[in-house]
């Protein structure tokens, strides 16, 4: 991948080609994954060029870096800047729009953007109301966004940071601050975008943090993804196994388990989320079933069908359900379920209409 600031080329994250293949029963040939790309080091830049070719009426590039920004950000608005590694599209870059993000900064595939890119993108979006950063809780992202925030504050630009920590499989409840951000990014961006459109920086951060504290997600992987330019997938699995509790970069799950039916997986997810969250009869929730890249909408809807039935059986009120593939891992097979506990304040921002090329909500 090419660093757009320094002009240097760096390799993709190294993925051992045989580390997981040993777990496969019997011989298994590892082949190059076919992808419609040119030079692997240019995929992030060329992706942004294609996006702007289609939607340049509303967006523009941040000069010199892999950043995109809205053209119509109102003066005085709290600027919402999101970002992370590429490879999760439409999250993060394609969620820029009305009552959503104002700008997005992208790193290489599954790699944090650098601090200079983050700072320049935030400067392009800032309109006098300060900047809120929203991104998943990963060490590289935290380090680089914090560095950029410090530089912005030296310029007199106030910054607040909200981390998405929704993956209940990645750390126990007593260490919830160590949890990583996964499919719940979509629900978080909906709340954060609406809050930043209506509130000053301090209040927008309060509402967004409130939403983050009520969000719970767990996922499963069936097949690994392949980073552009890499020979083999991030992980391989025996035909009758799945990775339980993995992250959106192909990080290992908490355990490997035998394949189960869609209903069985959904029931396990719901039980784990309710046990961790304390959500109970009489509570109101919004849910999101997320596909990881190659999972079909048919499969996701089958999971959502069981999710709805289970919540209703338990007396939990469903305000809204979403089913899509907003936070992918290239062509990984698998899915996650996110549940956010709502109150009147969060519902007010969740229900606000919004628009972007790949996510929209009409006025209810």
Measured between alpha carbons, how far is 28 from 363 in angstroms, rounded to an integer?
51
Instruction: Mark which of 212, 239, 262 sits at the end of a domain.
Output: 212
> Is the domain of 115 the same as that of 240?
no
Measured between alpha carbons, how far is 1 from 129 in angstroms, rounded to an integer?
34
Count of structural domains within the chain: 2
pLDDT of residue 34: 86
319 an active-site residue?
no
Mean pLDDT to the nearest integer, 90-111:
96
> Is the domain of 223 the same as that of 207?
no
> Is the domain of 225 the same as that of 338?
yes
C-beta separation of 158 from 131 below 8 A: yes
Q: Does residue 64 lie within any of the structural domains?
A: yes
* DSSP strand pairing (79-86 vs 131-136): parallel
- Cβ-in-10-Å burial (0-12, 13-18, 19+) of 84 comes to buried
Q: Does residue 85 lie within any of the structural domains?
A: yes
pLDDT of 37 above 80: yes
Confidence at 86, pLDDT banded by 50, 70, 90: very high
pLDDT of residue 193: 98
First to last CA, the chain: 43
> At 354, which CATH number?
3.30.1180.20
> Is the domain of 96 the same as that of 200?
yes
Mean pLDDT to the nearest integer, 334-360:
97
Widest Cα–Cα separation across the chain: 62
- The pTM (predicted TM-score) of the whole model is 0.90
Q: Does residue 21 lie within any of the structural domains?
A: no
Q: For 54, phi and psi rounded to 5 degrees?
A: -85, -35
> Is the domain of 114 the same as that of 158?
yes
Mean pLDDT to the nearest integer, 275-304:
97
Measured between alpha carbons, how far is 2 from 42 in angstroms, rounded to an integer?
7
Angle at 129 between CA 66 and CA 210, to 5 degrees: 85
- Identified catalytic residue from 70, 179, 249, 341: 249
Instruction: Mark which of 212, 236, 270 sits at the end of a domain.
Output: 212
> Is the domain of 102 the same as that of 247?
no
Mean pLDDT to the nearest integer, 145-157:
98
> Is the domain of 101 the same as that of 234?
no
> Is the domain of 227 the same as that of 311?
yes
pLDDT of residue 222: 93
Instruction: Mark which of 183, 212, 241 sits at the end of a domain.
Output: 212
pLDDT of 24 above 60: no
> Is the domain of 344 the same as that of 219?
yes
Residue among 241, 212, 207, 204 nearest 224 (CA): 241
Measured between alpha carbons, how far is 138 from 225 in angstroms, rounded to an integer?
19
Residue among 107, 52, 50, 63 nearest 83 (CA): 107
- Identified catalytic residue from 41, 70, 88, 180: 88
Range of the domain at 167: 40-212
């Amino acid at each position: 991948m090419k660093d757009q600031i320094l002009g240097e080329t760096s390799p993709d994250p190294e993925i051992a080609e045989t580390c997981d293949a040993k777990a496969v029963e019997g011989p298994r040939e590892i082949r190059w994954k076919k992808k419609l790309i040119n030079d692997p080091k240019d995929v992030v830049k060329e992706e942004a060029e294609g996006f702007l070719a289609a939607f340049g009426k509303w967006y523009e590039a941040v000069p010199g870096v892999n950043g995109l920004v809205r053209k119509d950000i109102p003066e005085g608005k709290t600027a919402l800047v999101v970002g992370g590694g590429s490879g999760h599209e439409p999250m993060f870059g394609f969620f820029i729009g009305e009552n959503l993000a104002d700008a997005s900064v992208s790193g290489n595939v599954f790699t944090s953007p650098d601090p200079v890119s983050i700072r320049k993108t935030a400067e392009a979006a800032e309109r006098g109301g300060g900047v809120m950063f929203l991104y998943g809780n990963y060490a590289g992202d935290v380090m680089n966004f914090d560095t950029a925030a410090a530089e912005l504050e030296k310029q007199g630009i106030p910054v607040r940071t909200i981390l998405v920590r929704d993956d209940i499989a990645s750390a126990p409840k007593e260490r919830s601050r160590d949890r990583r951000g996964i499919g719940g990014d979509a629900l978080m961006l909906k709340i954060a975008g609406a809050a930043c459109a209506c509130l000053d920086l301090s209040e927008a951060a309060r509402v967004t943090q409130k939403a983050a504290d009520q969000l719970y997600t767990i996922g499963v992987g069936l097949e690994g993804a392949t980073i552009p330019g890499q020979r083999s997938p991030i992980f391989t699995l025996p035909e009758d196994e799945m990775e339980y509790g993995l992250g959106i970069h192909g990080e290992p799950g908490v355990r490997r388990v035998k394949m189960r039916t869609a209903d069985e997986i959904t029931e396990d997810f719901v039980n784990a989320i309710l046990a961790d969250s304390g959500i109970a009869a009489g509570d109101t929730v919004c849910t999101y079933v997320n596909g990881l890249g190659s999972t079909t909408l048919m499969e996701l809807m089958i999971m959502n069908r069981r999710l709805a039935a289970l919540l209703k059986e338990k007396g939990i009120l469903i305000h809204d359900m979403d089913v899509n593939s907003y936070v992918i891992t290239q062509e990984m097979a698998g899915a996650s379920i996110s549940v956010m506990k709502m109150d009147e304040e969060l519902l007010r921002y969740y229900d606000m209409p919004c628009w972007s090329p790949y996510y929209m909500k009409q006025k209810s």
